[in-house]
Amino acid sequence: MFQLDYKSGVSICDQIVSSVIRLKAMGVLPAGSQLPSVRALALQLSVNPNTIQKAYTILESKGILCSVKGKGSFLSDDVAAEEAVRQKAQENFLQAIRSARELGLTDEELIHLIKGVE
């Protein structure tokens, strides 16, 4: 479910946050889904549990997760969570545009590419 790239230069915590947001946006993790416990995910990904806890805390502060004491962490179904997903998509899109421009693509070429996406 979660894939980490240890060579990407992006912190493991940020990769986990992005993965949850991406999986929610794709519908793989629908609202109300329970995420693995901190310990279980730490074991699965072979990372420090504190890293998982930090990622979950970030997701909770953004309204994407809600924690229920004794039950676990669940994906929120509120508007704030959906807005966070949209915001992350916009950030990723803008970064892709910046990268494309650095590689020499013109605005017209970018527009053509966007219109060609189905």
Q: Tell me: the pLDDT tens digits for 38-58?
A: 999 999 999 999 999 999 999
Q: Quick check: 83 pLDDT over 80?
A: no
Domain 12-116: give its CATH architecture.
Orthogonal Bundle (1.10)
Q: Which residues contact 77 (CB under 8 A, 6 or more apart)?
A: 31, 32
Q: Quick check: 113 pLDDT over 80?
A: yes
Q: What are phi and psi of 67, to 5 degrees?
A: -100, 135
Contact 4, 12 (CB under 8 A): yes
For the chain, percent of residues with pLDDT exceeding 90: 43
DSSP bridge partners of 65: 75
Q: Which range has the top average pLDDT, 78-82, 88-92, 95-99?
A: 95-99
Domain boundaries, the chain: 12-116
Q: Cα–Cα distance between 60 and 6 in angstroms, integer?
A: 24
Contact 24, 75 (CB under 8 A): yes
- With bands split at pLDDT 50, 70 and 90, how would you rate the model's confidence at 118? low
Contact 17, 52 (CB under 8 A): no
Q: Which residues contact 13 (CB under 8 A, 6 or more apart)?
A: 51, 54, 55, 58
